[in-house]
Amino acid sequence: MRRLTTLFPSEFLEEHAEELGVVEREGKLQIPVLVWALVFGFAAGESRTLAGFRRSYNSTADETISPGGFYHRLTPSLAEYLRDLVERGLDEVAVPDAVDADIDRFRDVMIADGTVLRLHEFLSDEFQARHEEQAGAKLHLLHNATDQTIEQIDVTDEKAHDSTLFKTGAWLYGRLVLFDLAYFKYRRFALIDENDGYFVSRLKQNANPVITEELREWRGRAIPLEGEQIQDVVADLSRQYIDVKVEAEFKRGQYEGTRSLDTKQFRVVGVRDEDDDDYHLYITNLPREEFLPADIGTLYRCRWEVETLFRELKTQYELDEFDTSNPVVVEILLYAALLSLLVSRELLDLVTEQADDEIVFPPERWAATFRSHAQLVLHELGEYLGYSPPPLLERLIEEAQKIHQQRPILQETLATATQPRCES
């Protein structure tokens, strides 16, 4: 428990909540309990409703809170507060390494990626999707694979393009960035190169730059590639690797109302996939002297670290199954899910330290274990923090009773509806 309270100390949780106006100074809401109830309530699948979160809170806090009092506190300030906690947690918690690659050559290896979260259709105005009558949010991450941390997180609607959130600059010096196709832009690649950074991206199918030089000589009657466009000749090749320089044309950023055309030379590498009888094509500025084509493919597989995180959030935490039409609640639940992931990782780090060296903890198996024990951890955490919830019988009576006298219980309604009508 000390590990968790060091990650999010109660004093910090209370002070920051007061700074943002999440709670009133003399209010009875116990903000540390609320945070931990959201974290562990989200992890526990049976508590993935607002009523479930409230029950988790009431089973831990010194005083219970009514449904109205609980829902009243689901505000934009709480969403902002939870986002701040996520950013704090990102600085503290390491994400376990999923791919073993030689990355010592670079100052850092960065992975940019995003995933779409499907939302209630009534949220289509606040979270515009690519298709009509749908709503969708997008979670964007910039993951540092060297330090095993997440450096940046953004939440937008689905229509926001991933590439608009990636800013080039001097911070790229000495860093390698791995991109998926959503970030593909020649101008971005040129700016990374001009800031003395490095990149690897898949080559878009509709990107067809001209080959200016072959970087590997082939014996025999090899097809000459110089002067050809890469996509026009790739289907005719059977060699194991393609390694060429290409020239790409692109528009520079706007200056004094105009955008000038420019060209830049990059390296395109193809690694043959025998199963698909096709090539995986990559564009990069990494030098051939240090990185052979097979090395480029190995480096790019580091992107699976972020893919694994997204898969865990969606399969284990059901991140894209938000059954609410309230946009603020969507944000609150999204940040609760990310906090659950961070706390899960912190506990995994602790378990790994305590276990024998030869024991392996697969991430998704650990996530399932964490979820199944979430309520037990919350109970022990509450005791560790000194909270004394009301007696169990008292809580059962309060939770199970009919709240609104004017609202008939479902069974009563059904019984009344099925009774035979008396003839007048």
pLDDT per position as a tens digit, 366-397: 888 888 888 889 989 989 898 888 777 877 77
Q: How far apart are the first and last CA of the chain?
A: 68
Question: What pLDDT shows up at residue 230?
Answer: 93
pTM over 0.75: no
- Which of 346, 373, 340, 337 has the alpha carbon at shortest distance from 6? 346
- In whole angstroms, how large is the CA radius of gyration of the chain? 27
| pLDDT value of position 218 | 67
Rounded Cα distance between 289 and 410, Å, is: 73
The burial of 272, by beta-carbon neighbours within 10 Å (0-12 exposed, 13-18 middle, 19 or more buried), is given as middle
Which tokens sit at 177?
Answer: 């960035």
Residues 98-116 have a mean pLDDT of 73
Kindly tell me if the per-residue pLDDT of 416 is higher than 60. Answer: no
Assess contact for 288 and 298: CB atoms under 8 A. no
Domain edges within the chain: 2-93+327-400
Q: Could you tell me where the beta strands, DSSP code E, fall in 274-422?
A: 278-284
27-61 pLDDT tens trace: 678 999 999 998 887 766 555 678 888 888 888 88
Q: Provide the mean pLDDT of the chain.
A: 82
Once rounded to an integer, what is the mean pLDDT over residues 125-141? 83
Of all residues in the chain, the percent with pLDDT exceeding 90 is 24
Q: pLDDT tens, 138-194? A: 888 888 877 777 788 888 888 887 778 888 999 999 999 999 888 999 999 999 999
Lowest mean pLDDT among 24-33, 188-197, 273-282, 316-325: 316-325
How many of the other CB atoms lie within 10 Å of CB of 278?
12
Residue with tokens 């969606």: 314
CB 169 within 8 A of CB 146: no
Collect all residues with Cβ–Cβ distance below 8 Å to 338 and sequence separation of at least 6. Answer: 86, 89, 153, 313
Q: What is the mean pLDDT of residues 335-350?
A: 85
Q: What are the DSSP calls for 330-358, one per residue?
A: HHHHHHHHHHHHHHHHHHHHHHHHHS-TT
Q: How far, in Å, CA of 38 to CA of 48, rounded?
A: 9
Report the run of H or E that residue 151 belongs to, with start and end: strand 149-157
Neighbours of 117 (CB within 10 A): 22
Pairing of the two strands 241-251 and 261-273: antiparallel
Phi and psi at 347, nearest 5°, equal -70, -35
